[in-house]
Structure formats: C-alpha cells, structure tokens
Chain A
Amino acid sequence: MEILVCARRVPDTSENEIQLNPAGNDIERDDLVYSINEPDNYAVEEALQIVAKAGGNVTVATVGGEEDEEILRREMAMGANKAVLLSDEVFCGSDGRGIATILKGFVQKGNYDLVLTGVQAEDAGAQVGGMLAAMLDYAFASLVNSIEVLDGKKLKISCEVEGGNKEISEIDLPCVLSIQTGINEPRYVGMRGIRQVASLEIPTYGASDLGVDKADVGEAAAKVKRDNYFVPALGKGAEILGGSSEEIAAKLIELMKAKGGL
C-alpha cells in the first residue's frame, strides 16, 4: 500500500499561550512552539500501522518552507519512509483551496492508494482533505476513527457521527480520508530518533515540478483571507454572579447559550 499523509506544522496549543500581539492584528508569534498538527500525527501512526500489516510505504508531505521540515523529520523518526517538502514562493498565502491544489499536483505525480490528512488544523478549517478528494475525484470520508484494509481495492472505515456513534462504510481505493484524533495511540518519538534523522535529505518540489499553475495558488488566488485576530472582551478572575439562586441560574444559562454551549 502506498500511503501519502499530508501534514501541517502549527503552533502547539498545549504548549503555548495564544495571545494577541501588541499591534492587535495577529497572534504573538515570538515565543511559539510549533509541532505537527495533532490529527496529522495520528494519521501518520495509522499509516505506519497499515503498512506494518499490509506492506508498502508511508510518505509524508507538507506545504511550506524550510521551517516546516522539522515536522517531516519527526515523522521520519517515527517511521515514515519518505518525506517531501512542497515549497515555492508562489505558494505563499494560499488558502485551503490553494493548498489542496498544490497537494493534488503532488498526488498526481505518484501512485498513492491512500491519502490521509488530519481532520482539521488548529489554525485552519476542516477542508483540505475534502477539497483534495473532490479535485482528484477520489472517494472521501472525514472524522475517520478506524481503518481496516479489506483488500487492495477497498477499505472498511468507521466515522465519528453524533452521539458518539460510529458510522461504518466501505470505501473504494484510491481515496482520501481525514483522520480524527484517538484512532490509535501514536508511538513516542524520542530525542534519539530525531537526532538520527537530523541530517537526512528532504526533497523539495516547486510549482513547476508539480505542474501547478501559479494562477491557482498563493495569495492572489486565495479567496479566503484573514483580516485580523481579536479576542472578545475578557475579565480577569471570575465574575461572581450574585442574586438569588434562580437569578444566578438564569444568568448562567444566558451566558452559556452565548458561548454556544446550550
């Protein structure tokens, strides 16, 4: 089985305090710790487990620049056979559709049975997997929490639906699956493994290598752009609700509804 995992390097939410920068137009990026988007890591682990049983190779690709190589190395330390960086000046500022276009170029260069992405990224919207599948005319499923290889032509998958239920489907290969966290228990990648892959060569592909038209990618082609970041007004320390318990309950319900929790 030839499996491609599309990964992304994002600021790590559990090791960063995401705050606005003083100018108020972006998050404070000075002290950020980055790592591979968590669902993508689960996707790589799943790919490794599939090829351990069914044979094959795992390739990890990311769209970005030199600083994104660190996640490729980490996944190689985890066991991925190959890693590629898709990098070109014209790719900068791509929106989700642009990224999917770039990935499509890479997928079509190879012969992948299965393409995996993480279900969504911390700083993006759950879209690249679905878009990529549509562009390639591959079958697609998202929120996948279990994969069973039935044969070289199809898989049996389980997807997370409401109420914690699992929707079981059969899906033809080649296909694109967006992987949900919790599908497996990713193995630990220690310092030792990382040091061993520190000097491995990572091939880079640009727009012309992938047959990507620069009119379809990059900032100019992006239809969705971020205007700014902001933080809705917060208080310091808890606002203690007062009044009778009935009044407090009512106020609380209002607040929770406003936060989308009821």
Chain B
Amino acid sequence: MITPAQASWWITLCLVIQFLGIACFVFIVTKRIAPLIRAEHDFRLDRPWLRAQMLLKFWFGQWKHPRYRVAGTLHLFIFAGFLILSTRAFYLLMFGLADDLAAPSTTGGIYDIVADYAATIVFLAVSAAAVRRVFFKPARYAVPERYGKGHPVDAIFLLALIAILMVSESLFEASRTAIQIQQGATADFLPLLSLPWILKDVLGSASLASLWKLHLVAYFVDVLTFYFLLCYRPFGIQFHVETSLFNVFFAKLDRGTVKPVRWGVNDERLDQVKSFGIKKFEDFTWKHMLDFYSCADCGRCSDNCPASAVGRPLSPRFLTIKARDYAFEHFPVFGKSSNSHALIGGIYSDDEIWSCTTCGACEEECPLMVEYIDKIVDLRRGLVDDGKVPKSIQKALKALESRGNPYGKMEKKRGDWAKEKEFQQSCTVKVLDGKSSAKTLYFVDSISSYDDRIQAIGRATARILSAAGEDFAILGAAEKDSAHDVRRFGEEMLFQALRDHNVDAIKTSGVSRIVTSDPHAYNALKHDYKDVPPVEHIGQFIARETKAGTLKLNDVQGSSNVYAYHDPCYLGRHNQVYDDPRAVLDAIPGLKRVEMSRCRDRSFCCGGGGLMLFYEPQEEERMGVKRVRMAAEVGANVIVTACPFCMVNIEDAIKVSGMEGKMTAIDLAELVDQHLVREVPQPEAKGNEELIHAHA
C-alpha cells in the first residue's frame, strides 16, 4: 500500500516527465519542419476524397507491406498493435495515476483483451524482428561501403525500446491485477497467454509492497520510454511513425506524370523562373523533404532497383537517406547548421543522377509512398540548367533540337520506313500531309521511324491496323520525337518545344484517336501532352479486336517455342497495362506462355529507353543481360516485349550473354503480324522466323 502523499510524489514526477516530453517533442518537430517552410511549393490538397482512400488502403491497410512476406507480416502486427494500443497509451499516460491506483482499468473489457493480446504480439514481433536482423541479416539492409556505415545497433536499440514499452505496460497491468488479487478486490481480467497474464503468474508470489513498487516503477518506465521514443524518433528512421500518415495522404496521385518545373508556374511564365531544377537542398519541395524524413531505410526500393542491381552508382534508398542526413546536418535540432557539403557533387554524384532509367520500381515498392522519379528529374533539370550534361546525351539533345530526332537523321525521311518496297506492296500507309485525313493517328516516334531493325515493328503495327480495317495514317515528316525522355532527362524547354509542335500537328490532322507501339510515346501522349485525342497502345488495340473477332489469329503450327512476356516499364508499371498483352498471347491457339518471377509490377527494367540508349553508364553488367537470364530460368526461349527500346536492349543482351541461338526476342506486334489470318495471301512478314522455326 502506498500513501496518497507517496502517490502524489510519483504522479507529480511523471507529470513533469510528460510535460517535458511533450515540450521537447514539439520543439524537435518544429525544428524538423523548419526546412520544409523554406522549401519549394507543392500543391497536395487536391482530391481529398481520393487521398483519404489512399490513406485507407496504403497506410491503414498496409497494402504494400506483404510484398515482402516476413517483414511485411511482422510490420503489420507491429503497426496494428501500435494503433490498438494507442488508445490505452493515451489513457495510461493521462489517467494511469490520476485515479486510485489499484482501481480497475478505465478502458472497456473487450478493448482491454484486444489490447493485451496486441501488446503480446508486438512484443513477439519486435523480438522476431531483432532476431531476424541479428541472425538472418536480410541482404537489403546491408550498407555498401560507398554509402557509409549501417546502423545495426540503432535498429536493435529501437526494437528493444518498443519491447520495453510493451513489457512495462504489461507489467503495469499484471502488477495491478496481482495487487487486486492479493487485496481481494475484483481483479481485472487478463486474457490467456497474453503478456500481462504471463507476468501476473510470475508475480503471483511477490509481496504486496514489492508489487506496489513494481507497479509504480513499471509506470515510470512506461512514461519514460514512451516519451524518450517520442523525442528520439525524429532523429532517425523511426520518424516515419509520425510522418507516414502525412506522407501517404500527400502522396502523388498521378502515375506516369512528371512534376512541373515549379508548381504554380505555368509554361508561359517559365521564362521568369531564375533557376531550374534542384541545385541546393531548399530547391526540393516540402513533400520531397517529408519523403526524406519518412524513409524507414527498409531497402525495398533498392532491392528492386535495376540500376542498383547492375552496379550503377544509384541506390534509391541512399538517395533518400543521404538527403535525410543532409537535412539533419544542415537543419539540426540542436546547435548550428553545418554548411559543409554541396548537394550535387557533394552527396550526389552526376553519374548517380543520370543512372536512373525512371522505371518506377522503387516507387511501386515503397510502403511509405516515397517518390523518386520527380526528384531525379528535378536534379537533372538543375544539371541541365548548369550545362553539366554528359557528352553523348548532348549530342542526342542537339540532334533533337535541330532534326526532331536523337539520331540527327533528316526530318523528311521520317516516314520512309513505310515506303520499303516489299512492305508497300501489301500495305499502304497514309501520311497526314494536309491532303489526306484519317480517324486514327499511328504515332510512330523516332526509334521506330529510323532504326532499321525497329522499323520492322512499325511495319508490323501498320499491317495489323490495316487488317483490322482501321482508318489510320502517320504524321510522317511532320512528326517529331515525343520527347518523353527529353523531359525525364531534365531538358524541359526542349521537351515543351517538341511537344507543342506535335500537339499542333495532331490537332491540325483532325484525328480522333491515337495508337502507338511505343510505350514511351504512349505515356507522353497520355500524361505529358494535354488536349490530344485519347491514346492506346497497340497491345490494347489487338486485345480488343481479337476479342471482337475483327482480328483472327492462326495457331502456332507445331512450334514448340516457350514465350515469356516482358512487361515494359512504361506500359506495365506506369500505366498498369498488364493483362491485354497477355490476353493477346493467349489468343494465339497453342502458344505456350510462362511467367517470369519478376513480372507485372515487379518487372525488371530492360536497361531504359529514349535518351538512356545514349548514356554511357558505369555498371558491372547490363540490365538486359539479367533480364534475358530471368527468361531462360523459367524455361522460355522467346521473350515477347511490347516496346522498341526493350527490343533493342534485349536483342543486344542476347548477343552479349552468349545466348544467340538459345533465345530470341520478338515484339508483340511482330508476333501477331506473323499469326494474323489474312484473306489475301501476304508476302511473308519478315521477322525472326528462321530462328523461331528452327526450334519447331
């Protein structure tokens, strides 16, 4: 039994701790928010209803977590536990000692049972997490030398603190029930096998005096630990506990888009902006900075990043962590800001910034909805503004500026792919030169127009459109590069010039819809271009027309090829077109198709498209080579892709990896073209027939 005087001493002490704790926390958070106030604008309050749904799915529902089974499950438990226990925590802190100490718990019966189990599960989960870290050491937590040292001790420390919190809370419950039992009062019900229940049994034989001491100490430890954690969290990855809700609520809603140079500054007024891109830390938007704070250093992004996988100097995880540490250093909670490093050339190297293929695997994976592509594009904008562009990319950009394509080929030859002699005999392609018109525009884009291997994809696409009876035409010499990757490489003004030219040409042509076989062009026309007719990828077109019966496909005629479909990043992940191309393949009778383990939104980037083909990366292996091996692993001998850049990278990779003769690549349009049922016999569609039939 303790005297009211003793009790009030305790209460006062704990109230003081609570007051200090909250004050500290407010102070710390204010300091943390400071750089966000100096940051660039970022309008994130639009579509609040949609944002609320995202919050429900990704924050509350932990939707992305189970993508990594073990860690995801553990986190789900910890997160659920935290949510459940938060109510009790509130009551405990506020009222735990205000009432008569041995009185029954103030929270309701059912809730208490749930909360007790929650504490137990959280305790087990953090213990499992600690064991996993120490003994199983998952690879994605490792910190490569070039990025500094890891924080294994800190991680265990935090897990330990959570465990202590669970134990102290349970001890508080257990000791109270033990006291109640000994005093003969009605004891609180403790559920079977919960932590408090176990502890109560352990305490069963203790003296009343020691139980009281334990009860008070448990409370004290609970308060101390709670507030210590509260104030410690903003100094590391655990800050995500507080920021995650905001980070998910304010997350980017529009996939496939790129942020404008400055939010709130429309294209016409861009000339007034003094500096483009990110050159210093304050050039990041507040949401970007919030991203840095919210990163839990889980490594899922880098684990899926193709650039990381091939040894390029880019790791999304460290892009964020380095920036977070930079923020901590330059906007510290205590002490003066240190102005040691620069951003570019300091914490980030040029190569690191150019290495990103914008495949989006990182963003797809991140459970906290941290954004990467916009940051990379903004960093590139800064480099471009300062003239620091790699030579080979400068060449391509210059050619794009003067000729509208990165190869420097003449504009008037852009439509020549359609004039190939044999092709012309079977298929006439209209050109929208002012004299003819059409309902549908086939937007070819540069690589399919000029690269002699890829022109075959253009021809196959045209034949398919023809066979479906589509009234289509191309822009020919009036078409310029979609500039999708010009934008993503940071040359915003050149992108706008090319885009405006194309939008003009499209509007003048009077077409009411657009089809393309190039996912980069598809993404540009869908998201980067405004006021153009709706656009479709040829895969979607074929899926619909085969279902409707307008296009009929022949069977594989005894071929024993095994096909693996490779999801192009800009068709799959960014635009979520996964099923249509598969439906097309399945519509070819007898075609054997297998799935690679990395498929759909986990597809592995082929190496990048657009301007990435002109970049000389520092890497240990080519992404394409890894991809080709993935296909071989599942027993495929043909990779089907639906993107001309994927085709270039994969065909190259087949040669480099020495798999010529064992693996081939074919475009979806080429494959369909080969299997189309035609009324009039056509000259044989050229393709990789020889090698494919060799496997029959």
Contact = CB atoms under 8 A, between A and B. Distances in A.
Do any CB atoms of chain A lie under 8 A from CB atoms of chain B in the complex?
yes
A196 B385 CA distance: 12
A22 B385 CA distance: 43
B401 interface: yes
Contacts of B493: 190-192, 195
Nearest to A14: B408
B387 A188 contact: yes
B389 interface: yes
A31 B412 contact: yes
Interface stretch (B306-314, B391-399, B621-629): B391-399
B276 A192 contact: yes
B402 A12 contact: yes
B268 interface: no
Contact of B387 (A12, A16, A35, A187): A187
A190 B402 contact: no
Given A31-B410, A195-B271, A15 B402 contact: yes
Interface string A155-185: 0000000000000000000000000000001
B389 A188 contact: yes
A28 to B, nearest CB: 11
A182 to B, nearest CB: 10
Contacts, number: 55
Nearest to A188: B389
Interface in B233-257: none
B507 to A, nearest CB: 22
Interface in A41-96: 78
Interface string B398-413: 1101110000101110
B467 interface: no
A191 B497 contact: yes
B399 A15 contact: yes
A101 to B, nearest CB: 32
A33 interface: yes
Nearest to A196: B271
Given A17-B410, A35-B398, A192 B385 contact: yes
Contacts of B403: 15, 33
B491 interface: yes
Given A14-B399, A31-B410, A195-B271, A188 B394 contact: yes
A189 interface: yes
A15 B386 CA distance: 25
B24 interface: no
Interface in A8-30: 12, 14-17
Interface in B589-627: none
Contacts of B497: 191
Interface in A219-244: none
A217 B365 CA distance: 69
B213 to A, nearest CB: 72
Contacts of A187: 386-389
Contacts of B124: none
Nearest to B387: A187
Contact of A189 (B387, B410, B412): B387
B494 interface: yes
A188 B388 contact: yes
A185 B386 CA distance: 13
Interface size class of chain A, counting residues whose CB lies under 8 Å from the partner chain: 20 to 34
Contacts of B410: 16-17, 31
Contacts of B492: 192
A34 to B, nearest CB: 9
B402 A191 contact: no
A188 B401 CA distance: 13
Contact of A190 (B384, B399, B408): B384
Contact of A35 (B384, B386, B388, B402): B402
A59 B276 CA distance: 26
B579 to A, nearest CB: 39
Contacts of B398: 15, 35
A223 B473 CA distance: 54
B341 to A, nearest CB: 22
Contacts of A189: 387
B191 to A, nearest CB: 66
Contacts of A78: 387
A16 B407 CA distance: 10
Contacts of A35: 398, 402
A191 B490 CA distance: 11
A14 B405 CA distance: 12
Interface in B391-441: 391, 394-395, 397-399, 401-403, 408, 410-412
A14 B494 contact: no
Contacts of A17: 410
B392 to A, nearest CB: 11
A191 B395 contact: no
B218 to A, nearest CB: 64
A17 B492 CA distance: 29
A58 to B, nearest CB: 15
Contacts of B401: 191
B383 to A, nearest CB: 9
Contacts of A191: 401, 491, 493-494, 497
A190 B491 contact: yes
Most chain A beta-carbon contacts within 10 A, residue among B276, B387, B411, B491: B387
B271 A188 contact: no
A31 to B, nearest CB: 6
A192 B497 CA distance: 11
Nearest to A15: B408
B408 to A, nearest CB: 4
Nearest to B486: A191
A187 B398 CA distance: 12
A132 to B, nearest CB: 28
Interface string A183-221: 001111111110110000000000000000000000000
Contacts of B412: 31
A193 B497 CA distance: 14
Nearest to A30: B412
Nearest to A79: B387
Contacts of B391: 185
Interface in B242-281: 271, 276
Contacts of A188: 384, 387-389, 394, 397
B187 to A, nearest CB: 75
Given A31-B412, A195-B271, A190 B385 contact: yes
Nearest to B405: A15
Contacts of A193: 387
Given A188-B387, A191-B493, 6 more contacts: A14-B395, A31-B412, A186-B394, A188-B388, A190-B384, A192-B276
Interface of B: 271, 276, 384-389, 391, 394-395, 397-399, 401-403, 408, 410-412, 491-494, 497
- Enumerate the 3 nearest inter-chain pairs by beta-carbon distance, A residue then B residue, closest first: A187-B387, A191-B493, A188-B389
16 contacts: A14-B408, A15-B398, A16-B410, A31-B411, A33-B403, A33-B408, A35-B398, A187-B386, A187-B388, A187-B389, A188-B388, A188-B394, A190-B397, A190-B494, A191-B401, A193-B387
